[in-house]
């Protein structure tokens, strides 16, 4: 048995080495690059900087085609007869985006015999089966930092929208109503409220910094404690025990990646630990939450308000319960795809493609899967 196990490990090691050798360097010649983005339709021509859509194609079409590469761009990503499926077998690079995710499953990876590189135009590569990508010897990378400011600003906006009970007031105006009491009975100041972020990476830290002038009580839970100087500058307190932090918070913000460990983390039991009347902002990933548990808690009033731009799946089906639950301020996935963010992640994708063509390394922080290993945040 020991000999058999050793043989299997040796074969696995040899297979990995072979795939990694093709992964690290683009072979000479034309490459087939496929991009999957949302379609802008009539909005495409309204802003020349609108590059994150199908029509804008990240602004790299002329550059790629001038070098002899083939660039296919589509929004059609679902089902066996979609446009993406037609190109899986012979594409070398797939560019995806969290805002209109092409789910790169193990099945799709097995079909993609020429595939070497998966790039995320933005941040968050959980739409890729990362374990399958690692086992296949693929490189997965994203444009780290490209939209952290965009998302942090959006989170702050959503906190204020929920705290001040803004949506009902806006709807009154639209409907021609005027009922101050119907808004003010549950509108509060943000000052002196306790805000806790579950996850304090790049976005979480930026949010805490932006909350400091509001004179909130700031808490954070993360696998890594901040440097003491930064913690003191922000005025945030580290909470090692998440379950101990949750009932202290008036507002909870989700700022962690979607992993096997965090998928469905906020289920009925975890939500039950939250303070009654809590407000939740989630711009991280919809699948971190138990969909029905959130809807039920909003209906019962245990969650007094829920806002975010992330759903599972995406686009959200018309019968998704979050569309119809009370006290929600949901939008499509928009926080990280501002025009400014689009320009940053388009430039980042172009830079990584250029490195790929030249056989050069990407910036270290951009790797999500490299040489069979997952980045620490996904382990």
Annotated binding site for substrate: 123, 147
d(CA 336, CA 315): 15
Cα–Cα nearest to 72, from 119, 36, 112, 108: 36
Q: What residue has token string 């690059």?
A: 33
Q: Which of these is catalytic: 285, 320, 342, 366? A: 285
- The SS3 assignment for 367 reads strand
Q: Which of these is catalytic: 165, 314, 328, 366? A: 314
Whether residue 147 lies in the annotated active site: yes
End-to-end CA, the chain? 29
Residues of the binding site for NAD(+):
202-203, 222, 257-261, 283, 309, 333-336
d(CA 17, CA 371): 9
**Structure token digits, residue 144:** 């780290």
User: CB of 93 within 8 A of CB of 64?
Assistant: no
Cα–Cα nearest to 160, from 94, 75, 253, 29: 253
User: CB of 252 within 8 A of CB of 278?
Assistant: yes
Q: Using CA of residue 350, residue 356, residue 361, residue 362, what is the dihedral sign?
A: positive
Whether residue 344 lies in the annotated active site: no
Contacts for 319-326: CB closer than 8 Å, 24+ residues apart: 320/291, 321/291, 321/292, 321/295, 322/291, 322/294, 322/295, 324/295, 325/294, 325/295, 325/298, 325/299, 326/298, 326/299
d(CA 285, CA 264): 10
Q: Which of these is catalytic: 116, 147, 255, 328? A: 147
d(CA 296, CA 289): 12
User: CB of 54 within 8 A of CB of 38?
Assistant: yes
Whether residue 333 lies in the annotated active site: yes
Residues of the binding site:
123, 147, 202-203, 222, 257-261, 283, 309, 333-336
Q: Which of these is catalytic: 333, 342, 344, 366? A: 333
**Structure token digits, residue 141:** 């990378």
Catalytic residues: 147, 285, 314, 333
């Amino acid at each position: 048995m020991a000999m058999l196990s050793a043989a299997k490990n040796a074969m696995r090691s040899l297979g990995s080495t072979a795939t990694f050798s093709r992964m690290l360097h683009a072979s000479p010649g034309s490459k087939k690059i496929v991009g999957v983005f949302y379609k802008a339709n009539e909005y495409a021509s309204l802003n020349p900087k609108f590059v994150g859509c199908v029509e804008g194609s990240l602004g790299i079409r002329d550059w790629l085609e001038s070098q002899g590469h083939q660039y296919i761009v589509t929004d059609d990503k679902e089902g066996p007869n979609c446009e993406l499926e037609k190109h899986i077998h012979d594409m070398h690079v797939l560019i995806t985006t969290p805002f209109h995710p092409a789910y790169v499953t193990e099945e799709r990876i097995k079909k993609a015999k020429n595939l070497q590189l998966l790039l995320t135009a933005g941040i968050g590569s959980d739409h890729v089966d990362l374990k399958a990508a690692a086992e296949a010897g693929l490189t997965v990378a994203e444009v780290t930092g490209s939209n952290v400011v965009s998302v942090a600003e959006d989170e702050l906006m959503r906190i204020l929208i929920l705290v001040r009970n803004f949506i009902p007031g806006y709807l009154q105006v639209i409907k021609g109503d005027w009922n101050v009491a119907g808004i003010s009975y549950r509108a509060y100041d943000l000052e002196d409220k306790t805000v806790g972020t579950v996850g304090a990476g790049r976005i979480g830290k930026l949010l805490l910094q932006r909350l400091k002038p509001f004179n909130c009580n700031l808490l954070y839970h993360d696998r890594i404690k901040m440097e003491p100087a930064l913690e003191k500058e922000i005025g945030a307190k580290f909470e090692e025990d998440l379950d101990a932090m949750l009932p202290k918070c008036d507002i909870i913000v989700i700022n962690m990646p979607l992993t096997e460990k965090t998928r469905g983390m906020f289920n009925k039991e975890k939500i039950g630990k939250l303070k009654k009347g809590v407000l939740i902002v989630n711009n991280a990933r919809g699948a971190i939450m138990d969909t029905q548990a959130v809807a039920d808690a909003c209906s019962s009033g245990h969650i007094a308000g829920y806002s975010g731009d992330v759903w599972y799946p995406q686009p959200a089906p018309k019968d998704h319960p979050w569309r119809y639950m009370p006290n929600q301020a949901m939008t499509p996935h928009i926080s990280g795809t501002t025009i400014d963010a689009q320009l940053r992640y388009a430039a980042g994708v172009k830079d990584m493609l250029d490195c790929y063509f030249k056989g050069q390394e990407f910036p270290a922080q951009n790797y999500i899967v490299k040489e069979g290993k997952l980045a620490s945040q996904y382990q």
